[in-house]
Amino acid sequence: MIAQLVKKEITEKTSLTGNYPELGIGKQAPPEITLLLCCSRTYVEPAIAKQIKTLLQQEINWKYLLQTASQHGVKPLLYQNLSTTAKELVPPGILNQLRQDFRINAVGNLNRSKELLKILDLFAANNIPVFTFKGPAIASLAYGELSLRQFGDLDILVRERDILRARDLFLSQGDEMKVELIELTEAQKEIFVKSPQIHEFVRECAYPFILQQSKIIVELHWRMMPSYFSFPIDSENLWERLIPVPLLGTNILTPSPEDSLLLLCGHGIKECWDKLNRVCDIAALIHKHPNLDWDRVMAEATRLGCQRILFLGLFLAQELLGTVLPEFILSKIEADGVVKELALQVYDGFFHNGNIAKQSFPVTRLHLKARERLIDKVRYFLGVSMTPTTSDWIVLPLGRYPSFLYYLIRPMRLVGEFLGGK
Is residue 417 within 8 A of residue 400, CB to CB? The reply is no
User: What are the two backbone dihedrals, phi and then psi, of residue 219, each rounded to the nearest 5 degrees?
Assistant: -90, 115
pLDDT tens, position by position, 316-349: 999 999 999 999 999 999 999 999 999 998 998 8
Give CA separation, 196 vs 93, 101, 169, 345, in Å: 54, 43, 14, 41
The model's confidence at residue 184, banded by pLDDT at 50, 70 and 90, is: low
What are the structural domain ranges in the chain?
Answer: 2-175+211-387
pTM summary value: 0.86
Is residue 284 within 8 A of residue 347, CB to CB? The reply is no
The model's confidence at residue 235, banded by pLDDT at 50, 70 and 90, is: confident
Q: What pLDDT, on the 0 to 100 scale, is given for residue 137? A: 98
Give the residue from 159, 153, 155, 154 showing the smallest Cα distance to 128. Answer: 159
Q: What pLDDT, on the 0 to 100 scale, is given for residue 2? A: 35
- Where b means 16+ CB within 10 Å and e means fewer, 14-36 reads bbbeebbeebebeeebebbbbbb
| Helical axes 360-369 vs 257-270, angle rounded to 10° | 140
Nearest-Å Rg of the Cα atoms of the chain is 22
pLDDT tens, position by position, 405-421: 555 566 666 555 555 55
Which residues, other chains included, contact 21 with Cβ-Cβ below 8 Å and sequence gap of 6+? none
pLDDT tens, position by position, 50-67: 999 999 999 999 999 999
Q: Across the chain, what does the average pLDDT equal? A: 85
